[in-house]
Structures are given as structure tokens and as C-alpha cells.
A and B are shown apart, each in its own frame.
With several copies, the nearest count.
Chain A
Amino acid sequence: MSLILALIRRDLTLAFRQGGGVGTALGFFLTVVVLLPIGLGPDQALLQRLAPGALWIALLLAVLLSADRIFQQDYEDGSLDIMAMGPMPLELVALAKAIAHWLASSLPLAVAAPLLGFLINLDPAAILPLALAMGLGSVALSLLASIGAAVTVGLRRGGLLVSLLILPLYVPVLIFGVSASTAPGAGPDIATPSLLILSAMALASLVLSPLAAAAALRSYLK
């Protein structure tokens, strides 16, 4: 346990020290939120309707963008070799690094999204459901991203391949995330079942992602 904590602590320190971590992630997020009304037109009512979906897409892309390097650096500088030799199973290493990614990159975004929502006319009643759904969904996003990051770790330009591999897995998260983010009363009450499904996805990826990621990492260390 203390080993996991040591690893999480280190990854958080690195995230905050290199390139600003949270700050730049938020910045990207902000900018996407700004681009959307420019690209899609300034119609107020329309924006309000599109807001939750747009925020979710921005979240997805931001996580994806920051994720492709979860393991990259440790792979390149040999740290991953030593971790693979060390006392902790590689599955736990993968889990710890995914958790660190969630704490440093996804969670801050999930917290900020509802607040940024006002920029694109988010319905105030939708703030709470959106925050909840994003909190849960971001867990799944970070964990799934860790699979993609592991699968592409040995590739120089994995950045785009990781998107291609992981976005399909993100589609269900997006579907249920958006449907769980509607303001209460805005439609039939599908928020609760969607939230449940989101939780299920988060749990499933909590179990499966470390296994898949560790297997992928091992094949690159070979």
C-alpha cells in the first residue's frame, strides 16, 4: 500500500511540476469550450441544449490528450524497467499511475466543467447532475486511457493511435454521461439508471484496465 502511495505521490509531483499539469489541462478545456460557440454559432437556446454534450466532449478530449503519456516517460527513461523488476506487481503500478492521472488531470476537469458551463449557457439545474456524472465518468476515462497509453507506449507518435484505440471505448461513457447530465425534469428520468451504468463502467474499468495495461507494458519491456 505504501508503495502505491509512493508512486502516486511521485506522479502527482511530476504532474504539477512539468508543464503545469492541472493548469494547462484546464486551459485546454477552457479553449475548447470557447471554440465551440465560435464553430457552432452563437444561438443561446441552442447552446444551452448542446452544453452538457459539448462539455463532455471537451472532457473526453482533454483526458485523451493528457493521457497518452501516462507511461511514456517512465518507459523512455528506464524507470518502468526497474518498476517491472521491483517488488510491486506491474498491475498495481499501472493502477497507481492511472489513479495519479485521474487525480492530476481528470478530476480537476470534472470539477471545473460545471463551473465553466456558464460560458456556454449551461442550465443551472443541470450543474449538480453534470458534476456527479463527470466525477464518476472521469474515473472510467482515466482508467481506459491508461490502457491506450500502455498499448502505445513504445511507439514514438502514439498520440493519435491512442485516440483511435480508446475513443471507441469512450463512446459508451459519453452516451451515458450525457444522458446522466440532463437537468432533472428535462426528460424522462433516465438520470439515475445512467448514473448506475456509469458507476458500473467505472468499476469494470477499475478491475480490467490494470490487467490490460500491465500486459501491454510487459510486451514492450520484452
Chain B
Amino acid sequence: MVAFYSPFAIRYSPMQIIGQDLVCERGGRTVFHDVSFMVNRHELLQLTGPNGSGKSSLLRMIAGLNDPAAGTLNLDGGHADLTIGQQAHLIAHQEAVKLALTVAENLAFWAGFLGGGDVGNALAALDLTRLAHYPAGLLSAGQKRRLSLARLVLVPRLLWLLDEPTVGLDTASQQRLAGMMTEHLAKGGMIIAATHVALGLEPARRLDLGPRA
């Protein structure tokens, strides 16, 4: 079963994600073109750019949900049998939270589906333990966002694709997220994060998607 692999198994081997000359088309319109980037292990790539410049589109493209209109995307040194998406977490604007399930049930499902993980641990990491048996439909905006972020801790994956991850988080949670990211990088993970605000840790690389307003 492909689900049970350890993303950090080959700990010291180098890995990189390389995007070359990527072109994104959405609804028949070119959103960006000739975007190239590279991320190594231990590195955070921070995506910036005005609204509509294609940050979310690029993250989805890396996750394998959109096909690039041109250009190539490769994970060198990664798990050969898996797509990039299968080695990545995507935290998008939509939170993938089931309102009718409790907080714990939401995570338990993803743990089962994504191949095992410690729910209690993930809840604690985002200070949701107290809300574990609360229906997710009753959560506030920031609490729901935290539930979505808990997936990062739940199942270890090599690459984190974060689309404006700090949105709605209170100060304490922003710091907690920054801590999680630092730790992930330290373990040898990679992060690509789109954001309009500071993330609380210094990115190793930056990519600005240009001048569109």
C-alpha cells in the first residue's frame, strides 16, 4: 500500500523540487508564464504577488490538481513511485472540514484515509484538544483554520503547500504555526507558502509572481 511510507526515511539524501518555465492558464487566460523556481530540503519558499497573480493556482499545480499549460515540474530524489501530490499536503482556502463531524472525527478520518497518524498529537499541536468532541460546524473561523492545519501534523509528508496559512489565526496560533514550520524544515521537509503577510520565519527563497493587480 502506497500510503505507508516515511517521507523522511532517506534522511540525508538531497532532494529538490524544480519548476521550470511553468505557464498557467485558467479559463482560457494566461495567469502567469515562464515561472521557474527551486526548493531544497530544509527550505521555505515564500510566494508573493498581488491578488490574482496566480499563487493559489501555482500551489494547486504543484499538488497535481491543475496541469501546467507548459513547462515541467519535478521532484528530484523523491519517492519514485509517488506523484508529488502524494508526498505533499495542500492547505488551501477551502478547509476540507466536515461540519457535521466533530473535530476529532474529522482528523480521525483523514488519519485513516491518508495512511495512519496520531489524532491526539495533532489536536494538541494546534491547541484543539479541548474542542475535540465539538462539532466542527460550531467552530469559529480561526478554529476551523486550525483544524485544517492539524492535517500537517497528523500525517508526515515531505512537502507542505500552504495557501495563506495564517489567515484567521490569532497571535498565539500564528506562533504555533511558525514553530511547526520551523520544526518541519529542521527535519528535512520542504515548504512552499503563499502569503500576503509575514509568516514569522525567514524564508530561504522567495518567488514574486509579478505585477498583476
Contacts and interface: CB of A to CB of B under 8 A. Distances in A.
B63 interface: yes
Given A2-B112, A3-B3, A13-B105, A85 B86 contact: yes
Interface in A61-82: 73, 76-79, 81-82
A85 B67 CA distance: 13
A88 B113 contact: yes
Contacts of A112: none
Given A10-B109, A87-B3, A78 B96 contact: yes
B172 interface: no
Chain A interface helix/strand/loop/mixed: helix
Contact of B100 (A18, A85, A88): A18
Interface in B92-112: 92-101, 105, 109-110, 112
A85 B88 contact: yes
Contact of A87 (B65, B93, B115): B115
A18 B97 CA distance: 14
Interface string B61-91: 0011111000000000000000101101010
Nearest to A82: B96
Interface residues of A, number: 27
A3 B113 contact: yes
A85 B2 CA distance: 12
Contact of B96 (A5, A9, A81, A156): A81
A86 B87 CA distance: 8
B96 A77 contact: yes
B1 interface: yes
B113 A76 contact: no
Contacts of A79: 96, 98
Given A78-B92, A82-B96, A14 B86 contact: no
Contacts of B90: 81-82, 85
Given A78-B92, A78-B95, A79-B98, A222 B86 contact: no
Given A85-B64, A85-B65, A85-B85, A6 B94 contact: no
A222 B3 contact: no
B65 A222 contact: yes
A83 interface: yes
B114 interface: yes
Contacts of A81: 60, 63, 65, 90, 92, 94, 96
A78 B65 CA distance: 11
Contacts of B98: 10, 14, 73, 77, 79
Interface of B: 1-3, 60, 63-67, 83, 85-86, 88, 90, 92-101, 105, 109-110, 112-115, 151
Interface of A: 2-3, 5-7, 9-10, 13-14, 17-18, 73, 76-79, 81-88, 156, 221-222
14 contacts: A3-B115, A7-B113, A13-B100, A14-B100, A76-B94, A77-B96, A77-B98, A78-B92, A81-B94, A85-B88, A86-B113, A86-B114, A87-B114, A156-B100
Given A10-B98, A77-B96, A88-B113, 4 more contacts: A5-B112, A81-B60, A87-B2, A87-B115
